[in-house]
Structure 1
Amino acid sequence: MLYLEVAILLGSIALAAKLGGIGVGIAGGFGLTIVVFALGLTPGEIPITVMLIIMAIILALSVVQKAGGIDYMVKLAGIALRKHPKYINFLAPLIAFILTVITGTGYSSLSIFNIIQEVAKQNGVRPSQPLSSAVVASQLGITASPISAATATTFVYVEQMGVSFSSMLCVIVPAALFGVLIAALVSSFQGCELKDDPIYIERLKQGLVNLGGKQMDEEQTKGAKISVWLFLGGVAFIVGMLLFKKQIGHSLATRDLIIISMYFISALIIYFSKINLSSIKETPIFKDGAQSLIVVLGIVWLSATILGAHTEEIKTFSSTILKEYPGFLAVIFFIASSMLFSQGATAALLVPLAVQLNVDAQTILASFVAASALYITNIYPTTAFAIAIDDTGSYMDKKWNGSFIVNHPFFLPGLLGICAAVPFGFLLAKIFV
């Protein structure tokens, strides 16, 4: 029966990879129907904590976007990129990383991808280089963000193991940032120079490449700037409350702290920026957030149902391996995230399991950065968007077009970035945890 259940899980994940987007959640729901009604399994635990945190953060970001705050942050990012075009291969992923860390979602970095490809091609840089490393950086940023659902879920469990929030940040932030730098370095050597690319030359002759670009010179409203500062203030409040939890003496759970703070900040932004409430649900971030909730509910619930039915067997098998090879947890994080398309979903599924298997906090935190393998296929929204906006053809060469699933410019930078970040994370964990 176990083999059949695993086959259903893998089949659902394969279907999810084919459908992409909201289809990932639907595929999970389809598999869940089979294992519950046909095989008689008891439904597993719904990842409520992850879903509630995602919902609260998406609400706040949607309000910020409606107020013009996202455009304001993009404008600032664009100024930095255009001011230092020589360093775009490193500056682009760094900005994407910072945006993701601040907002807790990689979708916020989508807004700067157009600017990245414009600045790159105007300065003779192959757009796939900075775009690919920016995509990887936006995924690594989730495992470094103090307000992401993945980080919050992980902290809930490591806190019970005696790890403070500051110690956790001292491991996950530098580890993820180191991975970003390695990914940027690797990406900058991928592919020939733009001026020598035959696909680019041909597209240029056909008039398919726009070298004009768009300048973001419009003045942002006062409400847009206020929304950004209020949101950043909310993030700072959450971080402060978690960093100085013992000194302050509060007993709020991480989940509750994030949700309450995000709802309050949303209310303040709506009031000061004079936002029409009915228009919030029309923002792109709100729609993307609704999609992510469906994805997490469907695929993680299916995984929890199947794995929950065989907890003891998994414990027996995994505990021996993890005891002898603790770094194997990073491999499990890597594989799971590449199939679940969500760091939050991966953390919700694997961190509780790791705790049950008596994996120590150092290993969990050091391995956590590996839950960023969403770039393995080029169908994830950020990867697909990066490819779609590039009109130079730098992703179209048969060597890089993803025709063999992993032969695309995101794979090697992301893989080597994580391979470098995990050992560095283990080193940091020994120092700070």
Structure 2
Amino acid sequence: MILIQLLVLLFCIFLGARMSGIGLGVMGMIGLLIFMFGFGIQPADPPLEVMLIILSVVTAAAALQAAGGMDYLVQIAGKILRKNPKQITLLGPLVTYAFVLFAGTAHISYSIMPIIAEVAIKNRIRPERAMSMSVTAAHMAITASPVSAAAAALLTVLGASGVQLADILVVGIPSTLVGVMVGILFVWRRGKELSDDPEFQERIKDPVFATNLEGTGKTKEFILAPGAIKSVVIFGLAVVAVVVLGSFPTFLPEFGDKPGFSPGFAVNEAGHVLMPSMIMIVMLAATGFIILFANTTAAAVTKASLFASAGQATIAVFGVVWMSGTFMENNFEVIQGTLGELVSSYPWSFAIALFMLSMLLYSQASTVKALMPLGLALGLPPAYLIGIFPACNGHFFIPGYPTLLTAIQFDRTGTTRIGKYVLNHSFMLPGLVTTTASVLAGLLFHSILL
């Protein structure tokens, strides 16, 4: 019976991934209906914390965008990249990593990709190198960002074991940076130079294409929005607050000794405010402060492109994680008995399981909520799970994620592409190399730092 249920699960995930957008979420709900009425399975609890964190963080990022703060950051990034054009293969991924680390969402990278492509093309550096690694770096930064839903999900799973946000960051940031640097070295001379690339040489014979490729040579004048800098400062302070509160729980409010105290969604039995709830409060409060003091409006925030991304990501996580969680919870003993001995003998095999599930779920947070509890149940130490956390970045494998498709779109030379056999795309090898290096570095750092 479990095999049939697994086939239903995989079939719904496959169809949802092909739909893209909210597809995973709606197909997850169809799968959940089949589990309930077809197999008589009781549904697990929905992943409310992850959903609300995604909404909170991306809403704050949308406020940053609406106030002009995003444009201000992109302007700074553009100056860095254009000032050092010959180093675009190095600086493109590192700047993208820094952006996503700060904002907690890979969707912010869409604003930087056109600049990376433009700088690479004008300096006749194969854009595929910088573009493929910039996308990979954006994904890696998610597992190192203090305000990402993935980090919050891991904190939720491991918090009962005494893990703090600082434990995740102290391993996640250096290990993913090491992985990104290894990936950059890997792509440094990868592929033919543009002058030797047959597809590019064929395209450049078209005078219209050649003219558009070079552009006008003029940089568009940038007008800084009145509240741009204020919005960046407010968002930055919110990120700092999350790091401090997550690293030093004694700063969190306690209500255990208050009259009429009752534990609930936001407060545990000991009366401590839970960190996932604190992230929601801080980030949505930051949104309010940006609206109040950074010359924007609530309506402008909801019209920002990032706000739409928040809705899609929330629905996707809602459906697919609820379906996956239901399957895992109702077949836990069988799964534990089947995988327990394997994971005990070969702990690294759990990293492969994380990677493979993330390939299908297209979400680090969803992967964490679906599998990390199983890792704890199988006896893997919390520190080890932190070390292999970057393995949740497998959604480059099947080239359907928006960041990959956006990078392909912005590379007008055609070097960044999906291959004839689909899986032989520009992001495959850089992603595998970077993820492997990040996991190995994470296993090293967790043994030293935790």
TM-score normalised according to structure 1 size: 0.95
Residue 286 (structure 1) aligned to one of 277, 286, 307: 307
**Structure-2 change in CA distance of 1:423 and 1:149 (3 Å):** same
Q: Which stretch of the first structure deviates more once superposed, 110-119 or 251-260?
A: 251-260
1:166 counterpart SS class: helix
Q: For 1:384-420, what per-residue CA distance to the aligned partner results, in whole angstroms no more than 9, with x for missing partners? A: 1101121111135xxxx33323201101011011111
Does residue 82 of the first structure (1) align with residue 103 of the second (2)? no
User: Is 1:161–1:361's contact at 8 Å kept on the other side of the alignment?
Assistant: yes
Q: 1:20 corresponds to which residue? A: 20
Residue 359 (structure 1) aligned to one of 370, 380, 383: 380
How do 1:64-79 and structure 2 match up within 5 A?
64-79=64-79
Aligned AA (1:411): M
Query: CA shift at 1:188, angstroms?
Result: 2.4
**Structure-2 change in CA distance of 1:56 and 1:34 (3 Å):** same
Q: For 1:204-227, what per-residue CA distance to the aligned partner results, in whole angstroms no more than 9, with x for missing partners? A: 121225222673531312301110
Q: 2:214 corresponds to which residue? A: 211
Q: For 1:274-320, what per-residue CA distance to the aligned partner results, in whole angstroms no more than 9, with x for missing partners? A: 32222321111000110001110111111111121101111112221
2:126 counterpart SS class: coil
User: Is 1:120–1:126's contact at 8 Å kept on the other side of the alignment?
Assistant: yes
Aligned AA (1:239): V
- Aligned mates of 2:56, 2:189 — CA distance in 1: 39
**Structure-2 change in CA distance of 1:32 and 1:243 (3 Å):** same
- Aligned mates of 2:300, 2:80 — CA distance in 1: 31
Q: Which stretch of the first structure deviates more once superposed, 272-281 or 66-75?
A: 272-281
Query: CA shift at 1:191, angstroms?
Result: 1.4
Query: CA shift at 1:247, angstroms?
Result: 6.4
- Aligned mates of 1:13, 1:255 — CA distance in 2: 26
Q: 1:220 corresponds to which residue? A: 224
Q: 1:321 corresponds to which residue? A: 342
How do 1:33-432 and structure 2 match up within 5 A?
33-206=33-206, 207-209=208-210, 210-212=213-215, 215-246=219-250, 251-396=272-417, 401-432=418-449
2:392 counterpart SS class: coil
Aligned AA (1:83): K
User: Is 2:8–2:31's contact at 8 Å kept on the other side of the alignment?
Assistant: yes
Q: For 1:32-60, what per-residue CA distance to the aligned partner results, in whole angstroms no more than 9, with x for missing partners? A: 22222222221122111100100101111
Query: CA shift at 1:380, angstroms?
Result: 0.3
User: Is 1:28–1:300's contact at 8 Å kept on the other side of the alignment?
Assistant: yes
User: Is 2:132–2:416's contact at 8 Å kept on the other side of the alignment?
Assistant: no
1:379 counterpart SS class: coil
**Structure-2 change in CA distance of 1:4 and 1:426 (3 Å):** same
Unpaired segments of 5 or more residues in structure 2?
Answer: 255-271
2:171 counterpart SS class: helix
User: Is 1:165–1:242's contact at 8 Å kept on the other side of the alignment?
Assistant: yes
Report how many aligned residue pairs link the two structures.
429
Aligned AA (1:295): A
User: Is 2:144–2:168's contact at 8 Å kept on the other side of the alignment?
Assistant: no
- Aligned mates of 1:214, 1:66 — CA distance in 2: 26
- Aligned mates of 2:9, 2:189 — CA distance in 1: 38
Aligned AA (2:180): V
Q: Which stretch of the first structure deviates more once superposed, 350-359 or 60-69?
A: 350-359
**Structure-2 change in CA distance of 1:392 and 1:234 (3 Å):** same
2:224 counterpart SS class: coil
Unpaired segments of 5 or more residues in structure 1?
Answer: none
Query: CA shift at 1:160, angstroms?
Result: 2.2
Q: Percent identical across equivalent pairs?
A: 35
Q: Which stretch of the first structure deviates more once superposed, 186-195 or 291-300?
A: 186-195
- Aligned mates of 2:218, 2:175 — CA distance in 1: 35
- Aligned mates of 1:248, 1:22 — CA distance in 2: 35
- Aligned mates of 2:218, 2:289 — CA distance in 1: 32
User: Is 1:142–1:150's contact at 8 Å kept on the other side of the alignment?
Assistant: yes
- Aligned mates of 2:276, 2:165 — CA distance in 1: 14
Q: Which stretch of the first structure deviates more once superposed, 107-116 or 41-50?
A: 41-50
Q: Which stretch of the first structure deviates more once superposed, 241-250 or 407-416?
A: 241-250
- Aligned mates of 2:407, 2:336 — CA distance in 1: 40
Query: CA shift at 1:249, angstroms?
Result: 7.3
- Aligned mates of 1:22, 1:323 — CA distance in 2: 37
- Aligned mates of 2:164, 2:15 — CA distance in 1: 40
- Aligned mates of 2:52, 2:171 — CA distance in 1: 25
Q: Which stretch of the first structure deviates more once superposed, 271-280 or 64-73?
A: 271-280
2:143 counterpart SS class: helix
Q: 2:266 corresponds to which residue? A: none
User: Is 2:252–2:273's contact at 8 Å kept on the other side of the alignment?
Assistant: no
- Aligned mates of 1:162, 1:244 — CA distance in 2: 12
